[in-house]
């Protein structure tokens, strides 16, 4: 902290904060690796299908069960002779999109409930947080399976179902954060000025809780991808012929002995994506450590 006016101008304001966060993030090797992996994965899924010579739905019975790196098919073919690489990348589009939008929905729900519960406290906060506890007390996989059994499984419904079972963690994190933030003097100052509750919640509290929210959101993507894989693997999720990493695993299981790569390839993709998002979350947690930059 400086008192003189002149040297301060060296650090243009928002850049100072962002630089420090970025610097701390870059020091986290695994997080940087995770970011690179996710970037590659996203680019491959977005552009890959256009570059590959095969369509993901094209059946080629004569070349079924081709091993990876043997013929024209980079990653081999499945039981119907469909190109595994093309299916993997198209499945990635679905799986990543489901994960991303499930994260967006659950972050919005979780953060809103957390902010309202943490700000109002009292009976409203207690009721909201008991609802969170009630949701948390169901094992989410079973909840997802039950919901999926009743609702026609298309990607949008799957996203909604996953979001409906993964917002609670964010609600808890945000509630704790808001509870402690609302005791700070700048909230009193805002009340003194006559700011509305909405202003205080969304203009004063949320921007200060953004760090934990981003971290929780990143970890939620990993969780959502994994959950989509679960339910698709169990046959309640994304329905073939539309590929997803989960249902690729599902169709691979009967040929595990004959063509193990059919399981290994999507399995690796899931592991890679989930681990990368978790690493990014860890890195962000360190980089955005709220305590130090609030001071």
Partner 1 sequence: MKPRPLIEAVGLAKYFPVRQGLLARNSAVVRAVDGVDLTIARSEVLGLVGESGSGKSTLGRSLMMLDPPTDGQIVFDDTEITPFSDRLLQPYRKRMQMVFQDPFSSLNPRMTVGEILEMPLRFHAAALDKAGRREKAEQALETVGLPGQYLTRYPHEFSGGQRQRIGIARALILEPEFIMADEPVSALDVSVQAQVLNLFARVRQNMNLTMLFVTHDLAVVGHIADRVAVMYLGRIVEIAPTRTLFAQPRHPYTEALMSAIPMPDSGNRRQRIVLKGDIPSPISPPSGCAFRTRCPYAVLECAQARPPLRLVEPGHQSACIRDDLTLVSPLDAVSEASPTWARAI
When the beta carbons of 149 and 193 are compared against partner 1, the nearer one is: 193
Is residue 6 near partner 1 by the rule CB under 8 A?
Answer: no
> Which residues between 12 and 51 bind partner 1 (CB under 8 A)?
13-14, 16-17
When the beta carbons of 58 and 184 are compared against partner 1, the nearer one is: 184
Task: Choose which of 189, 240, 254, 256 interacts with partner 1 (CB under 8 A).
Answer: 189
Cα angle 82, 61, 257 (rounded to 5 degrees) comes to 70
**Least distance in angstroms from the C-beta of 28 to partner 1:** 23
Stretch that binds partner 1, among 100-108, 156-164, 168-176, 179-187 (CB under 8 A): 179-187
**Least distance in angstroms from the C-beta of 59 to partner 1:** 55
Is residue 177 near partner 1 by the rule CB under 8 A?
Answer: no
When the beta carbons of 194 and 257 are compared against partner 1, the nearer one is: 194
Is residue 7 near partner 1 by the rule CB under 8 A?
Answer: no
**Least distance in angstroms from the C-beta of 163 to partner 1:** 27
Is residue 137 near partner 1 by the rule CB under 8 A?
Answer: no
Residues that bind partner 1 (CB under 8 A): 1-3, 5, 8, 11, 13-14, 16-17, 184-186, 188-195, 204, 207-208, 210, 293-295
């Amino acid at each position: 902290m400086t008192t003189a006016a002149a040297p301060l101008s060296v650090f243009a304001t928002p850049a100072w904060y962002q630089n420090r966060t970025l610097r701390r993030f870059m020091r986290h090797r695994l997080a940087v690796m995770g970011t690179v992996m996710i970037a590659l994965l996203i680019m491959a899924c977005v552009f890959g299908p256009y570059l590959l010579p095969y369509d993901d739905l094209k059946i080629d019975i004569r070349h079924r069960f081709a091993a990876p790196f043997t013929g024209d098919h980079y990653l081999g073919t499945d039981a119907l002779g469909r190109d595994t690489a093309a299916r993997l990348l198209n499945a990635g589009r679905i799986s990543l999109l489901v994960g991303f939008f499930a994260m967006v929905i659950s972050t919005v729900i979780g953060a809103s409930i957390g902010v309202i519960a943490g700000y109002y406290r009292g009976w409203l906060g207690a009721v909201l947080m008991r609802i969170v506890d009630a949701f948390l007390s169901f094992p989410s996989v079973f909840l997802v399976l039950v919901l999926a059994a009743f609702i026609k499984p298309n990607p949008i419904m799957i996203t909604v179902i996953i979001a409906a079972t993964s917002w609670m963690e964010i609600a808890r994190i945000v509630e704790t954060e808001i509870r402690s933030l609302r005791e700070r003097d700048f909230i009193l100052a805002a009340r003194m000025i006559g700011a509305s509750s909405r202003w205080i919640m969304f203009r004063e509290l949320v921007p200060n809780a953004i760090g934990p929210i981003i971290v929780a959101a990143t970890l939620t993507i990993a969780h959502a991808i994994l959950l989509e894989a679960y339910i698709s693997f169990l046959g309640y999720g994304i329905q073939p012929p539309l590929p997803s990493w989960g249902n690729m695993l599902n169709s691979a299981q009967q040929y595990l002995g004959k063509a193990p790569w059919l399981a290994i390839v999507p399995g690796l993709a899931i592991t890679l994506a989930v681990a990368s998002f978790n690493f990014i979350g860890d890195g962000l947690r360190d980089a955005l450590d709220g305590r130090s930059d609030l001071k």
